[in-house]
Structure 1
């Protein structure tokens, strides 16, 4: 029956994991600068595009592209990385004028893929319906990674807490009985199996997570790249630590077993911060150590609660419980202090400002996790108070005898069960939290340049027109500049430049606007927009006695 309750609590946590990541996981590195700037208009085509991220990233082969205004790829070779700066060589385009689209997908230092795109324009903007952006993360992969992390946390608690109790304060009477040892050992080995399963699943899912695809789309090359990365090496190290720890748990009579196990356990738990947020923070040494303390305290506290509820409170006699419970109470208090201290340190580094606890999803998850933890601590505090009163013999309204099945022990078992249920949800919140962009990165994104003018590139069979209107407002005070080029970007002398304005939604027929020709290929004139709305601006340009073409654009006048 106790295993049924434990499984029910785990399922509740798994449900919380599934509910949590309702959208694909956010990228953890953000773009802080681009050259050319996002949305900008430059005078000539650059030979290189650079993207600067908030942290070091790793390239995903074949996932960085630059597309010219006519839809042809102009990536001039493999991008290069220098820390957090990526440089993309650009080949000359046959039709260089217009809007270029940059698409990228990289892997951030904390193992999360960063996909996206931006555009810049040469001369003036143009429209290209085939623009591409970074590949989205498959929803099944996102959910699978969160569940794998949750399973790993559960496995760690089932392994560390019971192991610590069995090596220290477990009654020798129960250790000498094979039947009494069987349950705790099954729990520890189940935990080890869950940690191993979680590590293998995480490595498998990391390939489609980084390179695109569904949960079953991992390839040999993708898995090879993952295993060579810091993320893969950390998970391989976790499996090695498990392979060393499991035999040590079964060996008896080895005098240095406790010290070796402590070393192996510390090394194994260190693989969690080395493959997540802490290693990519501004203060990696602080956050890695804080996360290690946070994770270790969680495993000791929660794992110890499981062992107490499932075995010790049921099988130990009154004399044994009077020794065990005070010791465990002190250990639990120390674990809680470490848990809170480690969490506070991480929040101080990962959250940029107090306001971001409310305004960002990362901060909101921290607040939710804190609220749940407060409930658990309140229940744990009441249980610790009861333990002190029982041991001191001052419990009132209860049986004075501390015996399994007695009122105090029954209450303790129920309080521990309540702690376990809520803490499983806390673990679920943690599994979602590590898939969410830290608040420290929110607001660092490179701004989009919003020009004061409306500009666009229009093409016809015989010429390319780039025009801009300033300031695009209701009334007469608008100026139009138009430049006519060959498709290759060379100026074309023009014979005639006509412009008309129409507002079909208001029933206004085309109105001619006077234009003057400057510098042979440059047209200039005032525009009058008497009403707000979607105005159709039509250009009729003649470049010789017989060569003439008309192009048009829709301009929104506020």
Structure 2
């Protein structure tokens, strides 16, 4: 019996045969090598772009998160004549933020003349020598070598103090929205890294052949996309972060400054490396790849890891080579461990059978143990370098965040030890539910650890935060203020946030004790919105009074003293005190 076929069925069969023929040609022995050669050529092109970016990178010396250590004239001092220049000396080299170093005269006008000169850690600002007598305000915002902005202000007086001027044209305070957005971008970058590394590693070495690769591939592409978006967001946010503007205060000049810095170069290099890796990831997600492609991917991945420490604190540490290496190891171990946990929780513990899990979990357990050991070792070295002293571990924000991270890490290591015990007892393959719950607990805790890490990289290292500020002796502040009626010696101990003891000594112009009828004193921190706080004073002798005050925050506190020497004569003097 001869069966008749419709024209539609005939066309359908013809199309199916053509499709099969195309697939056979794609599967011919020569097709795969051609695809691999194309991928390698594309990866090589990405690497070439990266190398060009490295060649064009600015040559900047490694230095630490800078703090102001001295000024000339000295902060809060009284000088007889107007200086020709104001000199700011930082703990390490700094870069300029255009228009953010200003000297304001007593009448509120600009006293600085011309552009400031940057020579490593020393910034010289030319000022008008014909300026009026009174108190001058110096405000600054500069960029330290680890890409973080450093801002502040201080005063000095010519001849005699006066009411400090305000600088309405320059706001050096950081925008809190931008600061929060920077931390979110850092967090998303870490998340994208582990979502990319975990699937790539498991697909290359542990994935069962019978299972589809589509789900892990989608997860890895999502991680790559998230990493690219986070890197671009880092570059965008760095402009307002350094200049002190809002989220959209981005100009072409600002973008050019960021891209021309070490920070911008490392991020451009990261994008180039990711583009090169993308061409080799595609064949990996489709099936097993050869040894050469695997080695190239590993090299690209290691190079990507180094872009984080080269753009942050490690590159500016006292031992940059060691810090950069251990930070890259720390980041890589984190990505392997957490990325592998995600693959276990989302795919392997759900899809693999007991026989496959019996083969996979012991290997993964050894990997996880090595990753945790690397994390502990690298984290210890990092802490020794960045914290420097045990006191800084509890006295600085960086140290306290690090302690919180250590506590959470110990907790997650305990959960990981339980998971490893399940694997050793060969119980994990038969009880995937218990293993999955342990893995989810690890991921939940480490999500918080990632958040702390994103905050840590934006926090001044403890070794720097505990440094002396603006020439103030450690744990003590002393200055002498002058008025037409008297000179006032001010001593504040320990000049730190918390309880402080204040001593005031009044003297006549010929340096004899000046009897005082009434003492008044206030303290304010305008940068934090703290209005003047009255300081209760107790007269001890005619010219000496003391008082106690709690200063709740760090910053440049403004102390104001009104001393009445007779029933009708009184004068007010001010001092700016750096509180650590």
Instruction: Identify if the C-alpha distance between structure 1 residues 448 and 315 changes in structure 2 by more than 3 Å, giving closer, same or farther.
Output: same
Which whole-Å deviations, capped at 9, do the CAs of 1:427-454 have from their partners, x for residues lacking one? 0010111111111012322234855644
Contact 1:117 1:134 in 2 (8 A): no
Confirm whether residue 436 of structure 1 aligns to residue 459 of structure 2: yes
Contact 1:137 1:213 in 2 (8 A): yes
Confirm whether residue 414 of structure 1 aligns to residue 437 of structure 2: yes
* Correspondence list, 1:74-473, <5 A: 74-95=111-132, 97-131=133-167, 135-174=172-211, 180-251=212-283, 253-390=289-426, 403=429, 406=430, 408-444=431-467, 445-448=469-472, 453-456=480-483, 466-469=484-487
| CA drift at 1:354 | 0.8
* Correspondence list, 1:502-517, <5 A: none
| CA drift at 1:281 | 0.8
1:36 maps to: 73
Structure 1: 4+ residue segments shifted above 3 A: 131-134, 252-255, 447-454, 470-473, 499-505, 527-540
| CA drift at 1:267 | 1.1
Instruction: Identify if the C-alpha distance between structure 1 residues 326 and 120 changes in structure 2 by more than 3 Å, giving closer, same or farther.
Output: same
CA distance in 2, matches of 1:285, 1:504: 55
Instruction: Identify if the C-alpha distance between structure 1 residues 46 and 306 changes in structure 2 by more than 3 Å, giving closer, same or farther.
Output: same
Contact 1:70 1:128 in 2 (8 A): no
Contact 2:478 2:490 in 1 (8 A): no
CA distance in 1, matches of 2:515, 2:373: 74
Among 104, 117, 142, the alignment partner of 1:67 is: 104
1:536 maps to: 564
Please list every run of 5 or more consecutive structure 2 residues that lacks an aligned counterpart in the other structure.
1-63, 492-504, 521-540, 547-560, 575-580
CA distance in 2, matches of 1:226, 1:276: 14
| CA drift at 1:478 | 5.7
Instruction: Identify if the C-alpha distance between structure 1 residues 555 and 239 changes in structure 2 by more than 3 Å, giving closer, same or farther.
Output: closer
1:521 maps to: none
Confirm whether residue 481 of structure 1 aligns to residue 509 of structure 2: yes
Which whole-Å deviations, capped at 9, do the CAs of 1:513-537 have from their partners, x for residues lacking one? xxxxxxxxxxxxxx96699995435
Contact 1:55 1:280 in 2 (8 A): no
CA distance in 2, matches of 1:278, 1:127: 42
CA distance in 1, matches of 2:544, 2:411: 64
Q: Which range moved further: 291-300 or 121-130? A: 121-130
Contact 2:117 2:125 in 1 (8 A): yes
Contact 1:536 1:555 in 2 (8 A): no
CA distance in 2, matches of 1:53, 1:472: 25
CA distance in 2, matches of 1:452, 1:232: 42
Contact 1:502 1:536 in 2 (8 A): yes
CA distance in 1, matches of 2:507, 2:252: 59
Instruction: Identify if the C-alpha distance between structure 1 residues 537 and 129 changes in structure 2 by more than 3 Å, giving closer, same or farther.
Output: farther
* TM-score, length of structure 2 as denominator length: 0.73
Among 89, 92, 108, the alignment partner of 1:55 is: 92
Q: Which range moved further: 292-301 or 52-61? A: 52-61
Which whole-Å deviations, capped at 9, do the CAs of 1:394-435 have from their partners, x for residues lacking one? x5xxxxxx65xx4x2111111001100110010001011111
CA distance in 2, matches of 1:129, 1:80: 24
CA distance in 2, matches of 1:126, 1:154: 53
Contact 2:111 2:131 in 1 (8 A): no
Contact 1:301 1:335 in 2 (8 A): yes
CA distance in 2, matches of 1:259, 1:143: 38
Instruction: State the SS of the aligned residue for 2:425.
Output: helix
CA distance in 2, matches of 1:247, 1:531: 74
Instruction: Identify if the C-alpha distance between structure 1 residues 136 and 471 changes in structure 2 by more than 3 Å, giving closer, same or farther.
Output: closer
Instruction: State the SS of the aligned residue for 2:435.
Output: helix
Contact 2:82 2:131 in 1 (8 A): no
* TM-score, length of structure 1 as denominator length: 0.76
Which one scores higher on RCO, CA 8 angstroms, separation ≥ 6?
Answer: 1
Instruction: Identify if the C-alpha distance between structure 1 residues 151 and 124 changes in structure 2 by more than 3 Å, giving closer, same or farther.
Output: same
Instruction: State the SS of the aligned residue for 2:213.
Output: helix
Contact 1:98 1:122 in 2 (8 A): yes
Q: How many correspondences in the alignment?
A: 453
| CA drift at 1:172 | 2.1
CA distance in 1, matches of 2:122, 2:199: 47
Please list every run of 5 or more consecutive structure 1 residues that lacks an aligned counterpart in the other structure.
1-26, 175-179, 396-401, 457-465, 483-498, 506-526, 541-550
Which whole-Å deviations, capped at 9, do the CAs of 1:75-133 have from their partners, x for residues lacking one? 121111111221111222341x2222111111111111111111122233221342567
